[in-house]
Chain A
């Protein structure tokens, strides 16, 4: 793949550049602006330097939200990645069930995020929800509104419900790229189920699994709508993740300075993660192309 070098290609990219610059750079500049100033209302701003950053990085509230966020993302990855791979291995490879399975599995991915929250909010209620009612009936004291543990379990189960299919579909796409000849060869060699998985399937899924891990990590890292609808960040602050905390600060309290400083820190974390994602993805592609040519 030797692409010709031609700077005129910039003309083709220009519309995208202008549009994204308008909706990304301009707002980001506003945020930077806010993050170094203080205001007492009336649109009067005062230079505050790095005060907000110092305050933020030292604040208990931010540490706790960040801690909860990391814990949540870790739990999500530990459950969804193995489960997704397991499901992908169970999916049919041919026949009429393939389409049906794909469509049914993708269904949760296409539901508006607040409706996902609503579904689980209703489903988990002790009085009108099947899940809450059943759990209470068999003697478990389940209440996601008051009990911190139950709230966490509900949010994690909800996210597993919502996104595991994504991991499964990606893993499935990886599995389908394995030619049948590989399996036949393995059969002739008398390979066990486990060695087929470890030596044939896992290496072939490596590329898609890296994408899945990074996507799930980043998306769970900025989760907002679903827990917001389900628990509103409660009970107390126990399920207030970074995005929820940020929106509370910015739009709820209109504390522009601290909210802006938090946005910048948050964004830098995401930027770092995106860079890892990009490097891994393009390195993988170059390797493949190098191997092919």
Chain B
């Protein structure tokens, strides 16, 4: 009975994805004219279009650029802050922590227009850096929360012993503390990567031509000849691949990440 419910649920999850993969291997002719559960002649033409057309593959490069930039920025500022929250009390710490949370929860739609104005004003509009900075809005708080959760699991005696042994704070932090919470850093980085990867509204608002993310390229596949379903499906499949690969490494921490490090 349990097996059956679980199997049905997983089938429900996989069928729409299968349909996308299935479509990406068909010709447009076959997609539009017939209903086939398996592609009749498997074709990789749709994927070739994406890998050879700069308009398509530059979208992937842009997306990956801002996602990686964002992950690096988020983690490097979040590490010391999370340490401070997990080890010390200080003036306004609770308010600060709450304020960070509100940013994780803020609807991107509220920020779309002001971000557009802000980044245009400082000349960053249509660069990957603009999107990377904009995504810090929700990723930095997320990283702080997750890292704080992991750091609180490390006993404070370790810090104290290291200081007695004559380690300076930066040296202790890099040499001793970071290896101890390596899995936490990995998980936080993964979640930053992921939330930046799946977001479209801000990424689309802050770019026009040069830094257009793949997600935005996909919304513009409609041409005079109708929608190019095969290529659209292939592009969709390719956006699922990065997540599907890294998910294996963080499978046991997924709940922790989504719960902001609080499980």
**Residues of chain A at the chain B interface (Cβ within 8 Å):** 3-10, 12-13, 15-17, 19-20, 22-24, 26-28, 30-31, 86-87, 89-92, 99, 101-115, 118-120, 122-123, 127-131, 133, 161, 164-166, 169-170, 172-174, 207-208, 211-212, 215, 218, 221-222, 224-225, 229, 242-244, 246-247, 250-251, 256, 259-260, 263, 266-267, 270-271, 273-275, 277-278, 281, 285
Contacts and interface: CB of A to CB of B under 8 A. Distances in A.
A278 B105 CA distance: 11
Interface in B89-115: 89-91, 93, 96-103, 105-115
B115 A20 contact: no
Contacts of B6: 87, 90-92, 101
B77 A15 contact: yes
A102 to B, nearest CB: 4
A211 to B, nearest CB: 5
Nearest to A244: B109
Contacts of A92: 6
Given A5-B90, A19-B77, A115 B218 contact: yes
A21 B201 CA distance: 20
Contacts of A211: 259-260, 262-263
A23 B134 contact: yes
A270 B56 CA distance: 36
Contacts of A28: 114
Top 6 A-B residue pairs of the complex, sorted by shortest distance between their CB atoms: A110-B243, A27-B114, A222-B107, A173-B255, A12-B84, A9-B88
Contacts of A9: 84, 87-88, 90, 93
A208 B215 contact: no
Contacts of B251: 99, 102-103, 106
Nearest to B190: A110
Mostly helix, strand, loop or mixed at chain B's interface? helix
Given A23-B134, A112-B198, A174-B263, A270 B248 contact: no
A114 B107 contact: no
Given A87-B6, A208-B259, A212-B259, 18 more contacts: A6-B90, A7-B90, A13-B81, A20-B136, A28-B114, A31-B114, A102-B252, A105-B9, A106-B247, A113-B199, A113-B200, A161-B13, A164-B9, A222-B109, A243-B108, A244-B109, A247-B109, A277-B101
A122 to B, nearest CB: 7
Contacts of A246: 107, 109-110
A159 B169 CA distance: 46
Contacts of A19: 73, 77, 133, 136, 140
Interface in B126-149: 133-134, 136-137, 140-141, 144
Contacts of A103: 247-248, 251
